[in-house]
Amino acid sequence: MEGHIGRWHCWRLLIIGALLVSSTAHANGSEDYLLRVLRSSDAFRVRAQAALSLGQIERTSRSVAALERAVRDKHPAVRVSAITSLRRLESKQSLEVVERATKDRNKSVRRAALEAVEALEAIGERQRGPGPPRYLVTVGMPGAKAERVSRQMLFDARIYLSEQLIELQGVELAPDDLSPADVKAEISRRRLSGFHLESSVVTLEPKGAGVRAVVSIIVLSNPGRDMRGMLRGAATATGRYSVETAEQALKGAFVGALRRLPTVLEAAKARGSL
């Protein structure tokens, strides 16, 4: 009888896990069930599947606490599943718990813990906007069609563009030292939508009593580099032409161009999931 109950729970958890990937609302309604099963089931396979399913829904303090307890479960399969989910949820607060698991008596648990520690330690190095990450974005060095643009201006423009991006909901910047293959693997592993931004200073010139800048940003898929949108922004800084007024105009132009970026990213993400 217990075997039948265990198999029934496993099938139910597998179905829930499949639904969780596509439905946040369903995920929120299923957390109580997953927590209860993880805590009380006698079947280790059921507990392991519950731990994995918790890693597919939005992170909460209750789910993190339950997964941290599961890292000490009596069965190694459950411990591995719990560690995997803490890593997937990017629960850096669980680093100490996961570090202790690197000395687990089971080889698979130790391996999972070592990989999770490396991933969790790297989280603080990432630049990201508010909310859970949805988009992994790489930023190319801006180009210039305008004659007055110096290389230093382009370096500064890339920094400013990156600073503006991490103000956007759900955006995470890929580190510069991450190879294209690593970016592709991370997008797949974390189920993010990947994008690459190429920008260009189209115009930078004196205009009336100020300096006018026009910039364009091309939004590309990553990997693939298929065009997903083109943004354009313009701004004028008051004052005679100087490096300072030129930079002010460029910053204003980039801010203007980025206003539509959240809409473009969301539309591209929706198109990619069809």
Q: What local confidence, expressed as pLDDT, does residue 274 receive? A: 36
Q: What digits encode the pLDDT tens for the residues 39-88?
A: 999 999 999 999 988 887 888 999 999 999 999 999 999 999 999 999 88
Q: Domain ranges in the chain?
A: 2-125, 127-272
More confident residue, 131 or 27: 131
End-to-end CA distance of the chain: 42
Q: What local confidence, expressed as pLDDT, does residue 29 receive? A: 55
* Domain 127-272 grouped into CATH 3.40.50.10610: yes
Q: What local confidence, expressed as pLDDT, does residue 272 receive? A: 63
Query: pTM of the predicted model, to two decimals?
Result: 0.54
Q: What digits encode the pLDDT tens for the residues 202-233?
A: 999 998 889 999 999 999 998 888 999 999 99
More confident residue, 274 or 131: 131
Pick the CATH number of 2-125 from 1.10.10.10, 1.25.10.10, 2.60.40.10, 2.40.10.10: 1.25.10.10
